[in-house]
């Protein structure tokens, strides 16, 4: 007999139906019709057997949720037995519009299955706490989320140039969180290059802007249904963002006036038209800048990123930011930005190394 668990940190799933002793079906719990592809469950086997689990889109938001779900059906997802997460194939004979997985389980075995490689808030907290014992490293908070969780920050370095690095606006895009933890590990290391960055810059890292969404397994929103990427309309003209997490972030930006912002997101599936590693870059529209000099600095940074990183491998060109994004708003203040979409399928080791490479490239472009 197989039991299924849909509650727990980063878990997402609803309405489980038992179709047999070893066969379950459940729906994703969507934030809206687009952000509804994420799921995460844990299976408990009492004796040996082959588990079959069918995952379908949120029925309350059909038919749009079904189209979005179908667009995001992967060839592999992530599976965890005792050790770490490993890529695991989706059953090629899945019924239409459904993700089916089959897993052979040993007696008493517990297996977790997730659409994205998860990086839970509890592990972020543990990682940052450990790193905060390093010299020149300061653990802090931007404030609290709507449900009262700390929006953790780690500042590394004592230089005069302030750099800001963000992830976790869309909670299921855990690659960005992994990227920032990798950046933190590199920045505190004894490598001469990392030491030089610490001396010249002060890098503030926010790995999980949306801790409530992370813990409760939201796909793209916070628990109040707000998209923290599109949460800054007219902030540079004095409007306070409505979402509490975005308001905390904007207050920090106004107080610290960073010289550069970086933001890591994660694509949930390889692009058919792109090439490995299917990553992305976004940039503000020219009209987001007031000053021609600021616009020119952004374009110089973009050229450097286009040639030195894999950021154009998903679609071949830059995507333009929403005017309500943080990046469009800081552009108005004259601050250049990097917005990098990692690829979930390539896994956390590559996310960590990419983040370090992107930071290095951006610093070299703007502060040679
Ligand atoms: Zn995103």
- Domain closes at, from 60, 80, 114: 114
How much is the CA Rg of the chain, to the nearest whole Å?
Answer: 21
The predicted structure's pLDDT at residue 235: 98
The alpha carbon of 173 and the centre of ligand 1 are apart by a number of angstroms equal to 6
Average pLDDT of 30-46?
96
The alpha carbon of 35 and the centre of ligand 1 are apart by a number of angstroms equal to 10
**Same domain membership, residue 70 and residue 197:** no
The alpha carbon of 166 and the centre of ligand 1 are apart by a number of angstroms equal to 11
| pLDDT single digits (tens) 147-162 | 999 999 999 999 999 9
The predicted structure's pLDDT at residue 128: 98
Average pLDDT of 56-61?
96
The alpha carbon of 265 and the centre of ligand 1 are apart by a number of angstroms equal to 5
Band the pLDDT of 229: cuts 50, 70, 90. Answer: very high
**Same domain membership, residue 183 and residue 95:** no
The mean pLDDT of the chain is 97
- For residues 202 and 185, what is the distance between their CA atoms, to the nearest angstrom? 15
**Same domain membership, residue 163 and residue 279:** yes
- Flag whether pLDDT at 273 surpasses 90: no
The alpha carbon of 327 and the centre of ligand 1 are apart by a number of angstroms equal to 13
The predicted structure's pLDDT at residue 168: 98
The alpha carbon of 264 and the centre of ligand 1 are apart by a number of angstroms equal to 8
**End-to-end CA distance of the chain, in Å?**
62
- Flag whether pLDDT at 271 surpasses 90: no
Continuous H helices in 136-260: 174-187, 192-200, 211-216, 244-256
Q: Is 49 helix (H, G, I), strand (E, B) or coil?
A: strand
The alpha carbon of 344 and the centre of ligand 1 are apart by a number of angstroms equal to 12
The alpha carbon of 211 and the centre of ligand 1 are apart by a number of angstroms equal to 15
What does each C-alpha distance from 167 to 15, 176, 190 come to in angstroms? 30, 5, 25
The alpha carbon of 169 and the centre of ligand 1 are apart by a number of angstroms equal to 7
The alpha carbon of 167 and the centre of ligand 1 are apart by a number of angstroms equal to 9
| pLDDT single digits (tens) 108-165 | 999 999 999 999 999 999 999 999 999 999 999 999 999 999 999 999 999 999 999 9
The alpha carbon of 254 and the centre of ligand 1 are apart by a number of angstroms equal to 23
Q: b vs e for 200-216, b when ≥16 Cβ sit within 10 Å of the residue's Cβ? A: ebbbbbbbbbbbbbbbb
The predicted structure's pLDDT at residue 82: 86
- For residues 359 and 196, what is the distance between their CA atoms, to the nearest angstrom? 13
| pLDDT single digits (tens) 318-354 | 999 999 999 999 999 999 999 999 999 999 999 999 9
Domain span including residue 85: 2-114
- Domain closes at, from 88, 114, 140: 114
The predicted structure's pLDDT at residue 146: 98
Tokens of 350: 């590559």
**Same domain membership, residue 43 and residue 18:** yes
**Same domain membership, residue 165 and residue 126:** yes
**Same domain membership, residue 253 and residue 286:** yes
- For residues 80 and 94, what is the distance between their CA atoms, to the nearest angstrom? 21
- For residues 155 and 41, what is the distance between their CA atoms, to the nearest angstrom? 34
Whichever domain contains 30, its CATH number is: 2.60.40.3120
The predicted structure's pLDDT at residue 183: 98
**Same domain membership, residue 346 and residue 234:** yes
Count of the separate structural domains present in the chain: 2
Q: b vs e for 61-80, b when ≥16 Cβ sit within 10 Å of the residue's Cβ? A: beeebbebbeebbbeebbbb
Tokens of 69: 């779900």
Whichever domain contains 164, its CATH number is: 3.40.630.10
- For residues 311 and 277, what is the distance between their CA atoms, to the nearest angstrom? 9
The alpha carbon of 108 and the centre of ligand 1 are apart by a number of angstroms equal to 37
**Same domain membership, residue 207 and residue 91:** no
The alpha carbon of 10 and the centre of ligand 1 are apart by a number of angstroms equal to 16
The alpha carbon of 176 and the centre of ligand 1 are apart by a number of angstroms equal to 9
The predicted structure's pLDDT at residue 211: 98
The alpha carbon of 266 and the centre of ligand 1 are apart by a number of angstroms equal to 6
**Same domain membership, residue 269 and residue 142:** yes
Q: How do strand 110-114 and strand 137-144 relate by DSSP bridges?
A: unpaired
**Same domain membership, residue 330 and residue 288:** yes
Band the pLDDT of 26: cuts 50, 70, 90. Answer: very high
- For residues 166 and 210, what is the distance between their CA atoms, to the nearest angstrom? 11
The alpha carbon of 360 and the centre of ligand 1 are apart by a number of angstroms equal to 22
Among 65-79, 141-155, 246-260, name the one with the lowest average pLDDT. 65-79
**Same domain membership, residue 226 and residue 81:** no
- Flag whether pLDDT at 83 surpasses 90: no
**Same domain membership, residue 268 and residue 300:** yes
Average pLDDT of 33-47?
96
The alpha carbon of 321 and the centre of ligand 1 are apart by a number of angstroms equal to 11
- Angle at which helices 121-131 and 174-187 pack, to 10 degrees? 10
- Domain closes at, from 94, 114, 134: 114
- For residues 100 and 79, what is the distance between their CA atoms, to the nearest angstrom? 13
Beta carbons of 282 and 324 less than 8 angstroms apart: no
Sheet containing strand 280-283, strands side by side: 137-144, 150-156, 201-206, 161-167, 260-267, 337-343, 280-283, 319-320
């Amino acid at each position: 007999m197989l039991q299924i668990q849909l509650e727990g940190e980063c878990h997402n799933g609803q309405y489980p139906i038992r179709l047999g002793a070893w066969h379950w079906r459940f729906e994703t719990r969507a934030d809206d019709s687009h952000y509804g592809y994420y799921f995460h469950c844990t299976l408990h086997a009492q004796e040996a057997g082959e588990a079959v689990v069918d995952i379908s889109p949120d029925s309350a938001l059909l038919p749009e949720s079904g189209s979005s779900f179908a667009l995001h059906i992967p060839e592999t997802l992530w599976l965890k037995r005792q050790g770490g997460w490993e890529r695991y194939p989706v059953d090629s004979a899945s019924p239409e519009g459904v993700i089916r997985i089959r897993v052979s389980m040993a007696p008493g075995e517990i297996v977790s299955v997730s659409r994205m490689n998860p990086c839970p808030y509890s592990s972020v907290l543990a990682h940052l706490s450990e790193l905060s014992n390093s010299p020149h490293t300061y653990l802090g908070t931007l404030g609290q989320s709507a449900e009262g969780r700390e929006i953790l920050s780690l500042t590394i370095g004592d230089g005069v140039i302030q750099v800001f690095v963000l992830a976790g606006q869309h909670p299921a895009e855990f690659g960005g969180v992994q990227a920032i933890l990798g950046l933190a590990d590199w920045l505190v290391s004894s490598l001469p290059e990392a030491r030089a960055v610490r001396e010249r810059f002060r890098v503030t890292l926010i790995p999980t802007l949306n801790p409530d969404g992370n813990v409760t397994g939201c796909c793209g929103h916070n628990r109040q249904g707000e998209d923290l990427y599109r949460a800054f309309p007219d902030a540079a003209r004095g409007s306070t963002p409505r979402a509490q997490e975005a308001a905390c972030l904007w207050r920090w930006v106004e107080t610290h006036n960073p010289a550069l912002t970086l933001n890591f997101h994660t694509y949930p599936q390889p692009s058919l038209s792109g090439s490995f590693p299917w990553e992305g870059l976004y940039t503000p529209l020219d009209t987001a800048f007031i000053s021609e000099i600021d616009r020119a600095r952004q374009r110089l940074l973009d050229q450097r990123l286009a040639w030195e990183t894999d950021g154009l491998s998903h679609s071949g060109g830059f995507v333009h930011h929403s005017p309500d994004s943080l990046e469009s708003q800081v552009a108005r203040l004259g601050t250049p930005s990097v917005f990098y979409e990692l690829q979930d399928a390539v896994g956390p080791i590559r996310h960590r190394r990419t983040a370090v490479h992107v930071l290095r490239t951006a610093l070299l472009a703007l502060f040679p």
